[in-house]
Amino acid sequence: GNSVTQMEGPVTLSEEAFLTINCTYTATGYPSLFWYVQYPGEGLQLLLKATKADDKGSNKGFEATYRKETTSFHLEKGSVQVSDSAVYFCARLTGGGNKLTFGTGTQLKVEL
């Protein structure tokens, strides 16, 4: 089926450390892929997206590359900050109605 699998958390890093959150998807074809971020007590915000293979989405220092050969869309950031502490969701479009299918979320904690 159409699903999204992301690494379990929580991920705890020191400030300025390198971040990778893995995400893989199952699909037929090449769905649009997204990373959403959810800060404590808030709704989801789109962080970045990629709509076709080999696209790289980037925003606020975060990057993710759509890799069709490994069906992956890993999220990376070179130097995390305490303010990046949040839950990160990988998602894909499913079906013709633009429904989003989300992964289970990865909590990131960044400490001083």
Partner 1 sequence: EAEVAQSPRYKITEKSQAVAFWCDPISGHATLYWYRQILGQGPELLVQFQDESVVDDSQLPKDRFSAERLKGVDSTLKIQPAELGDSAMYLCASQGSLTGNTEAFFGQGTRLTVV
- First-last CA distance in the chain: 41
Nearer Cβ to partner 1, position 26 or 51?
51
Task: Tell me the C-alpha distance between 47 and 39, whole Å.
Answer: 12
Q: Is 32 in the site for partner 1 (CB under 8 A)?
A: yes
Residues 6+ apart with CB under 8 A from 68: 30, 53, 54
Nearer Cβ to partner 1, position 80 or 90?
90
Sheet containing strand 75-77, strands side by side: 19-21, 75-77, 62-65, 56-59
Binding to partner 1 in span 74-93, by CB under 8 A: 89, 91, 93
Which residue type does 51 have?
A: T
Q: Is 12 in the site for partner 1 (CB under 8 A)?
A: no
Span of 22-30, 44-52, 54-62, 68-76 interacting with partner 1 by CB under 8 A: 44-52
Sites of contact with partner 1 (CB under 8 A): 4, 32, 36, 41-46, 49, 51, 89, 91, 93, 95, 97-100, 102-105
